[in-house]
Chain A
Amino acid sequence: MSLQDVDRSILGGAGGAKAEEHLQWAGVKLRHWLSRYGVLLAFLVLWQGASSSGWLNPAVFPPIDAILSAMWRGVFGGALLDDIAISLQRSGLAFLAAVVVAIPLGLFMGQVRPIENALDPILQLFRQTSALALYPVFILLLGLGEASKVFVIFWATLFPLLLNTISGVKEVDSKLIEMARVYGASRSTVFRRVVLPGAIPSIFVGLRLSATTALLLLIASEMIGANKGVGFQVMNAQYNFQIPLMFAAIFILAGLGLIANYALVFAQRRLCRWSDVSI
């Protein structure tokens, strides 16, 4: 052992070890963070670098900082706020209507075999018919206003939720239902205490699919015959060659999708602590 070593162990041995431990802990954290978000970060950095160096045409792919500042101006200047509000209103209304219709209907259909059996073929037909293809029909029926927009979103969000609710109910373990019956559970008790909780994970799968679909259809409907909305802004900014604003609107849409998904995952984790929920 050299003199320096002795010195270190006397003077700062303990503190040094502690600092090292902290550093190691931070390193582990950073590595976790990088392994999850590293590729995303690299993508954004590459975009920024390629655009500002002119390797990508900045007129088509403006640098990230230009997009962010367009977003900042749009949101805090108020220009995009109205669009976000009207978009949220359209998709929110349609999503809520789908929830109110699909979940009770699905719970009922999942339990009554003859009804499920009779309605399944037509549900499959409706589901496979693209809601966008039906949009002109809805416009004919409801006009080019809010009603047809909300309805086309509602139509498209209804089916993932309905079908997942039905399958959630059908897939509840019949052995658990039998167990409850042995203890004398009535039909309504079996429903309340076994079927409903058992179907909840599948209902959440439907909710998450529906939320994604709602945003998808929102944009499509706002690109036709709208003068407000985030989807309208994407088209409008492109027409006016405000490319940073266009990307700002696209990023806002992506952000809304992420927020909706995380909100549902959060709710599912609260409600279904017993099952493993993945993002």
Chain B
Amino acid sequence: MEYVQTSRKGEIALRDLSKSFQISGRSLRVLRNVNLDIRSGECLAIVGASGSGKTTLLRILAGLEAADAGKVLIDSEPITGVGNERAVIFQEPRLLPWLTVLENVAFGLEVRGGDARHAKERARHYISLVGLAEFADAYPKQLSGGMAQRVGIARALTVQPEILLLDEPFGALDAMTKLTMQEELERIWRDENVTMVLVTHDLEEAIYLADRVLVLPKNKDGNPKTIEIDLARPRDRSETRFVQYRKDLFREFGLH
């Protein structure tokens, strides 16, 4: 399948991003002056304790929520909402139960105004890519959690985004499935040449997948910290330097 090259590259810039929520009359600040540049084709992981605003940050990037102050630039253009260059993979697969796997995967492209036959054709390609070719005509209720999440990934890939935003994509899966999915996601990321922003609470997942890990502080007055992961791919979880990164990252959270 040919890949349509566009002038867009999927560079993201966050400028002085702030966000507060009103909770029972009190203002709760979740993000404070976040500045960050994400390179084209990079995989950035965002980690942080719960309540650190990592999911909020991702939702702002997706255009599902607006920042109170500051802006998000994608390829130097400020975003105003959801956009065709971005696709989101949620923690839950969010499949439409009345559509087959094939119809679900084609859904995103069809909604974007793609011709239905073309959308189905491209959907088939990505269904095979995630290893579900035999299940194209199955309904979501017939799938396991891992399979359903693969369908969600295929649906996002079918729109061929420059940026893939993932919100704890494997958080609901069992440990074994999770490891397999991480390996597959890395392979897809390299083949598809997309910028990936991955929100996760799994520090090992962050080290395994990311070029850089952004650690959001629990204390809102603290500054986010970026850790460069300088390991060859595919990464070996038992390698000494991998383990060292793991130790360093755990220490950020006061864990051992």
B78 within 8 A of A: no
Asked if A272 and B98 sit within 8 Å, CB to CB, the answer is yes
Asked if B64 and A274 sit within 8 Å, CB to CB, the answer is no
CA distance A175 to B96 in the complex (A): 10
With A175-B92, A183-B112 as given contacts, are A275 and B97 in contact (CB-CB < 8 Å)?
yes
A117-125, A189-197, A203-211: which lies at the interface? A189-197
B126 within 8 A of A: no
CA distance A274 to B96 in the complex (A): 10
In the complex, chain A residues 22-80 whose Cβ is within 8 Å of any chain B Cβ: none
CA distance A182 to B64 in the complex (A): 7
Counting residue pairs across A and B whose Cβ atoms lie within 8 Å, the total is 55
A178 within 8 A of B: yes
In the complex, chain A residues 160-211 whose Cβ is within 8 Å of any chain B Cβ: 175-176, 178-185, 189, 193-194, 197-198, 200
B90 within 8 A of A: yes
Chain A residues with CB below 8 A from B108, complex form: 183
Interface residues on chain A, size class: 20 to 34
CA distance A175 to B92 in the complex (A): 9
With A175-B90, A175-B92, A274-B141 as given contacts, are A180 and B97 in contact (CB-CB < 8 Å)?
no
CA distance A150 to B160 in the complex (A): 56
CA distance A58 to B111 in the complex (A): 67
Chain B residues with CB below 8 A from A194, complex form: 96
Q: Majority SS of interface residues in chain A?
A: helix
Interface residues on chain B, size class: 20 to 34
Asked if A183 and B107 sit within 8 Å, CB to CB, the answer is yes
CA distance A275 to B141 in the complex (A): 8
A–B complex contacts, Cβ < 8 Å, 28 sampled: A175-B94, A176-B94, A179-B90, A179-B94, A180-B111, A181-B64, A182-B62, A182-B63, A182-B64, A182-B87, A182-B88, A183-B107, A183-B108, A183-B112, A184-B83, A189-B111, A193-B107, A194-B96, A197-B96, A198-B96, A200-B98, A272-B98, A273-B139, A274-B99, A274-B140, A274-B141, A275-B97, A275-B98
| Given A182-B82, A193-B107, A197-B96, 14 other A-B residues pairs in contact with their CB atoms under 8 A | A175-B94, A176-B94, A180-B107, A181-B64, A182-B64, A183-B107, A183-B112, A184-B83, A184-B84, A184-B111, A197-B98, A272-B98, A273-B139, A274-B141
